[in-house]
Amino acid sequence: MGLVCRWYSLHQTFSFASRGRVITVNTARMAELVLVVEDEAHVRELVSYTLQGAGYRVQAVSNGGAALESAHRAPPDLVVLDIRLPDLDGWEVCRRLRAESDVPILIMTALADDESLVKGLRLGADDYVAKPFSPMVLAARVQALLRRAASPKVQSRLIELHGLTLDLASAEVRRGDSVVHLTPTEFRLLAALARRPGQVVSPGELMRIAQGYEVAERDAQEIVKVHVRHLRHKIEPQVDRPRYVLTVRGMGYMLNRKQLVDSGV
């Protein structure tokens, strides 16, 4: 793989180089627990080693049952989840984890076709890496997901729509008096649209905002489509006639400006 890792404990940075690119991760504040679920020992070890080197605590297990048990015993900050597992498959683990928490889930799969990807996202996964992947990519994805999950809540701001309120400070969405439970990715997509009401945002741009990195436009379209579908099921009174998040065919998505209570936002 041509990967070179350097670990500087003094400066609390972790650098890795691959094909001439060097990425340095500042680990000064990283002590998050990552649950790694993978039955193949050498992949499990590689992932664990990579993430430990990047400053995370790692709990590694080899099957779905152990993953759920571990997640109950010591709730992780992020789950790296293989799909082909000997007992419960990764889809089922993903579904059960998502039923209980919003923990970011990164799927690792050799089944890197669109159908698998879309299935994973439908079940509530936040992102995926296709096997074989480079440790650099994996560490960067984990860091991006965790950074988003823990981003400082400094922008105290309410965006009020007719029937829906977004609190950008607490990442809370309310429909009437009820809290709407969105995954971190769904919230970020909605917030990205709500910050620029009436403007069309492309799937690629939404992915950059919501996920923190670039993905191919075609992949972005698929991924965002699935997240928007989830989002609509949670916030729209009529999913097939969206009131808030509008599709602008061939271009992207837009928050319906007419739904703003305070059009000065």
Nearer to Ca ion, 77 or 82 (CB): 82
Task: Write down the least CB distance from residue 138 to Ca ion, Å.
Answer: 15
The residue at minimum Cβ distance from Ca ion is: 84
Task: Write down the least CB distance from residue 188 to Ca ion, Å.
Answer: 29
Task: Write down the least CB distance from residue 58 to Ca ion, Å.
Answer: 17
Nearer to Ca ion, 47 or 146 (CB): 47
Task: Write down the least CB distance from residue 86 to Ca ion, Å.
Answer: 8
Nearer to Ca ion, 39 or 205 (CB): 39
Task: Write down the least CB distance from residue 125 to Ca ion, Å.
Answer: 16
Nearer to Ca ion, 39 or 167 (CB): 39
Nearer to Ca ion, 41 or 216 (CB): 41
Q: Which residues of the chain form contacts with Ca ion (CB under 5 A)?
A: 39, 82, 84
Question: Could you write out the DSSP letters of every residue in the chain?
Answer: ---EEEEETTTTEEEEEETTEEEEEE-TT---EEEEE-SSHHHHHHHHHHHHHTT-EEEEESSHHHHHHHHHHS--SEEEEES--SSS-HHHHHHHHHHH----EEEEES--SHHHHHHHHHTT--EEEESS--HHHHHHHHHHHHHHHT-------EEEETTEEEETTTTEEEETTEEE---HHHHHHHHHHHTSTT--B-HHHHHHHHHSS---HHHHHHHHHHHHHHHHHHH-SSTTS-SSEEEETTTEEEE-GGGBSSTT-
